Amino acid sequence: MDEVDLAILEHLCKNSRMHSTEIATDLDLATSTVHKRIEKMREVGTIKEFTVKVDTAEVGLNVTTFIGVNIEQNKRINILNRLKTIDDVLEIYELLEPYDLLLKVRTFDIHSLKENVLQVIGNMDGVKDSQSILTTKCHKERSCTILRK
């Protein structure tokens, strides 16, 4: 991973649909060079996927919730595997404190949060407790950023 790769990634983070030709022009590189580097980053797993960012309110996903979950550590793998199957759970993080896991969840409404997520988590074997933090407004959300040392 060199400065050229990082520069290419910066462009793709801003617009994952940006064509290799446009990136090459911006970086004063050959299009084939940019294309080869993107393919190599895909092959080694640096680039996991190209995706789209959706206006969640436009598609009706109006409730964003962070859920802290404390679990029995000997059931960690089973719990993580179950959580990964819940469509409304967007992200799962392991923490040091105050919870064992932190989930980012997005649902249509409070009812679907309760039915599709909270009750499912509450019934999981090995979940000790959970606490929900409901958000009221998002001021910044990014899915990709490239920071340089």
pLDDT tens column, 63-90 = 999 999 999 999 999 999 999 999 999 9
Tens digits of residue pLDDT in 6-31: 999 999 999 999 999 999 999 999 99
- Structure-block tokens of residue 148: 């340089």
The CATH number covering residue 33 comes to 1.10.10.10
Distance linking the first and last C-alpha atoms of the chain: 13
Q: Is residue 112 part of a domain?
A: yes
Q: Are residues 130 and 67 in the same domain?
A: yes
Q: Is residue 147 part of a domain?
A: no
Smallest Cα–Cα separation from 86: which of 59, 122, 58? 122
Q: Is residue 49 part of a domain?
A: no
Q: Are residues 91 and 124 in the same domain?
A: yes
Domain total in the chain: 2
What mean pLDDT value characterizes the chain? 95
Q: Are residues 36 and 73 in the same domain?
A: no
Give the span between the Cα atoms of 62 and 109, in whole angstroms: 6
What is the pTM assigned to this prediction?
0.84
Q: Are residues 69 and 16 in the same domain?
A: no
Give the span between the Cα atoms of 96 and 99, in whole angstroms: 7
Q: Are residues 67 and 100 in the same domain?
A: yes
Q: Is residue 88 part of a domain?
A: yes
Domain extent, residue 38, equals 3-44
Q: Is residue 146 part of a domain?
A: no
What pLDDT, on the 0 to 100 scale, is given for residue 145?
Answer: 77
